[in-house]
Amino acid sequence: MGAVALDPRTPVLAGAGQVLEPPDPDGELTERAEPVGLMARALEEAARDCGGAPGRQLLERAQSLRIMVPLSWSYIDPAALVAERLGIVPAEHALTAIGGNGPQTVAAATAAEIADGKLDVALLAGAECTWTRLAARRDPARPVLSWTTQPAGTPVPRLLGTERAPVTDTELARGLDRPRNVFPLFENALRAAWGESIDDHQARLAQLWARFSEVAASNPHAWSRAAYTPDEIQTIAPGNRMIAFPYPKRMNANDRVDMGAALILCSLEAARRAGVAEENLVFPVAAADANDHWFLSHRRDLHSSPALEATTSAVLETAALGVDDVDHLDLYSCFPCAVQLAAAVLGIAVDDPGRPLTVTGGLGFAGGPGNNYVTHSLATMAGLLRGQPGSVGLVTGLGWYVTKHSAGLWSSAPGRTPFRHVSPQSQVDATEQRMPATDAEGDTTVETYTVVHDRAGEPSLGILALLDDEGRRAWGNVTDPDALCELETREGCGRPAKLHADGRVDLR
């Protein structure tokens, strides 16, 4: 990339750190770290990544400590606890709203504040200890975790973003209550839109995810270092039960991890003053954020994302780059459909072994620590960019149900133009919306669907998106065992169906 005269306010990523506590079924749970402990350790690693003493100086000079909200334990102000562990006193404590887009969004907003002179040094951190939390919950004989609680009256940190219910009451009533029930709807809609058979589609997904597992196998910070074959990923077996068709367990994000990651962002002037080596600096080049129409009922279709298309186009345009200028990619990978949606709008193949779509191995294999995966993605990307001077990396994030989108370009060289954080939200808001048919009953057509399985691996609930004769979207459920089995072997998208007033669906 072409060098430009650098403003001292140019934002840089000076240090990145990752920590991992591997599973230890025989170990003492009480000796394992809680989330704020892993956050503090990740920031210490980020300081070491800056060169030791320079990193410590930046920690002590931090004006803001921004935490990706943890899901495995509830704190009022986790930043206060992390700061106490590090012996630092940042003036601002902040906490993100829920969403996997958070780390890239917050990193971009922080970079913009640094460029504008509102901040000089800021710290970003997040961690989850879900493996430990669930291990303690499963075994009542084990001691209760003595993780930190904060008293009533603890000052509330600044909220970064907006908290909002992800689904409507009707969507919730029909089973759209968790990611593993929602993302398969997009996957089956993609299969139908692309005209694939169920068998061919499943084989292609397994090949894609096998390549992700190969990347994780070489990632020292990955939760799972196993490289799976396509057959091991798609074959239903005791360790790989079907969760919600078409995704068996190994195609789902793995949130049962204990891992943390952190970033130190600052101005170029602050990095130089602290003594951070120039070759350690990674530059945010451009960033973009936008949300799709918030509720699934209003989406134009369930096999595309106008906001994802708008953010990726905007970030490349802002940086004056094309996708062929990007050397490394980490496309958000909670489920295969998320990767395919991003690859489609970028115009890149998902089956090119010479162009990996992840630098970590993805949320299923490297680990899916709640809202903090992209902090790991950014930390890993920073290492790759440093090792290839002048290279460019693209990182995407996704929140809720293909709802919130972030995209960032990063490089080991300054951008062609000063950093900008843009939002094409008005462009997305102008796209088509469907009308929900909350009172629909009678003849409909199946738009997409999934079959949710119970813990024994048996099909238990069909969740269907339906279109009435006016093109309005409704939601329904199937519970008949024969119909559920048929939906996994015969294409259900496009089938006629009768919707009853109580939400029951009869397939025809």
Please provide the size of the chain in residues.
508
If you average pLDDT over every residue of the chain, what do you get?
Answer: 97
In the predicted structure, residue 286 carries a pLDDT above the cut 50: yes
CATH of domain 11-165+254-429: 3.40.47.10
At 3 the pLDDT is 47
- pLDDT of the residue at 469: 95
CATH of domain 442-507: 2.40.50.840
Three-state DSSP at 184 gives helix
User: Which pLDDT score is estimated for 2?
Assistant: 46
Using omega within 30 degrees of 0 as the cis cutoff, is the peptide bond preceding 246 cis?
yes
How far is Cα 357 from Cα 212, in angstroms, rounded to an integer? 8
pLDDT at 47 over 70: yes
pLDDT above 80 for 53: yes
Domain positions in the chain: 11-165+254-429, 442-507
Distance of CA 284 to the CA centre of its chain: 19
CB within 8 A of 393, min separation 6: which ones? 326, 327, 328, 329, 330, 359, 381, 384, 385, 409, 410, 411
CA-wise closest residue to 100 among 425, 333, 311:
333
Q: What does the block give as tokens for 219? A: 């990632």
3-class DSSP state of 287 = strand
Strand 242-244 versus strand 420-422 pairing type: unpaired
Whether 4 shows a pLDDT value over 70: the answer reads no
How many angstroms separate the CA atoms of 72 and 38, rounded? 12
Q: Does pLDDT of 24 surpass 90?
A: no
Q: What pLDDT is stored for residue 96 in this prediction?
A: 99
User: Got the DSSP string for 455-468?
Assistant: TTS-EEEEEEEEE-
Residue 302 structure tokens: 């369930």
Residue 339 has pLDDT above 70, yes or no: yes
Whether residue 316 is predicted with pLDDT greater than 80 in this model: the reply is: yes
Express each pLDDT in 468-500 by its tens digit. Answer: 999 999 999 999 999 999 999 999 999 999 999
Arithmetic mean of pLDDT, 24-31: 81
pLDDT digits (tens, 9 = 90+) for 188-208: 999 999 999 999 999 999 999
pLDDT of 433 > 90? The answer is yes
Give the mean model confidence (pLDDT) for residues 61-72. 99
What's the burial of 199, exposed, middle or buried (CB within 10 Å: 0-12/13-18/19+)? Answer: exposed
Which residue bears the tokens 């009869």?
A: 506
Percent of the chain with pLDDT over 70: 99
Over residues 129-165, the pLDDT tens digits come to 999 999 998 877 777 899 999 999 999 999 999 999 9
Q: State yes or no: pLDDT of 463 exceeds 80.
A: yes
DSSP symbol at 154:
P
Q: What is the mean pLDDT of residues 6-15?
A: 98
Q: What is the rounded distance in angstroms from the CA atom of residue 109 to the CA atom of residue 113?
A: 6
Q: What is the pLDDT of residue 443?
A: 98
Tell me the average pLDDT across 377-403.
98
Average pLDDT over residues 101-115: 99
The helix/strand/coil state of 258 is strand
Judge if 11-165+254-429 and 442-507 fold alike in CATH terms: no
